[in-house]
Amino acid sequence: MPGLPFRSRRGRAAGAVPDEETRAHVAGAASAAAAEVEPVPAVVADRTAAAFFDVDNTMMMGASLFWFARGLASRKYLTSRDLKRFVWQQAKFRIAGSESAGDMLTIRESALAFVTGREVAEIVQAGEEIYDELMADRIWSGTRNLAQQHLDAGQRVWLVTATPVELARIIAHRLGLTGALGTVSEVVDGCYTGRLVGELMHGEAKAEAVRALAEREGLDLSRCTAYSDSANDLPMLTLTGTAVAVNPDTELRAVARSRGWTIRDFRTGRKAARIGVPTVAAAALTGGVVGGAVALRRRNAWPF
């Protein structure tokens, strides 16, 4: 694939596996390239400032992919056994407190397998329906209001998430946001190949995506704001001039307090306890319950 520093495992010589930093860079660049850009808001535009919102537990209750996977399972795209296996794999890694490159590779490849050969349009249509059925009512009104404040100030607002970019774009469009940065999968002739471009949109890859988008759109990152619930997003949170911890996990709450960041918590105690259950499924499914969009315009270009 022209412009990418490496191909899939099947297309590489032994020993040519890219390192984590390279994969994050490629994933970030791919996500920024796939990001839609809506017209400038009707209010007086602030062209150099923007806001970046994580999705799971920040913009919506629980993990978007948990609900998406439930919707796909009801449509017979995957079995309940598949879903349980993904949940168990991720739960194991969460409890252990770390995810090795080998672990993530196993999850990614097993999750990507079932969408291989499926049409992007088919998955996107299912995503539209599933959002309305299972996700719309789980958007945090408090976080949605924070995003609207940026829009009202003439700033653009992007979601930045490990969720596949197609699903991330659906959520962004439904909320009236500018667009989304998400995990990008390779697409040839309108169908998923079963390979990611770079890596999951996670950790450092999110920062790479924001950095690449900022360069493309002329944003001043010192004037931008990032929102997240998780310490995994510290690379993105520390990249922008302002960071806000929304419904933060224990580690992020401690970091936010030590650095004087604003903390916003829209959960009740009961909701906070429930949220962790669907989140367990998130990273396991992220690698390919659906892929992100990298359809190749005339075989080798971006579709967006």
Catalytic residues: 54, 56
Which helix (H) or strand (E) covers residue 263, if one does?
A: strand 262-264
The residue to which tokens 């299912």 are assigned: 126
* CA dihedral sign of residues 173, 177, 179, 181: negative
pLDDT, position 270 = 45
pLDDT, position 163 = 86
Give the pLDDT mean for 102-129: 76
Of the given ranges (18-22, 88-92, 273-277), which has the lowest mean pLDDT? Answer: 273-277
Residues in the chain: 304
pLDDT band at 81 (very low <50, low <70, confident <90, very high): confident
* 213: number of Cβ within 10 Å: 24
- CA–CA dist 144, 156 (Å, integer): 14
- CA–CA dist 112, 288 (Å, integer): 4
- Interacting residues of 157 by C-beta distance below 8 A, sequence separation 6+: 50, 51, 52, 53, 147, 150, 151, 177, 178
Mean pLDDT of the chain: 78
Q: Which residue has the higher pLDDT, 141 or 1?
A: 141
pLDDT, position 8 = 37
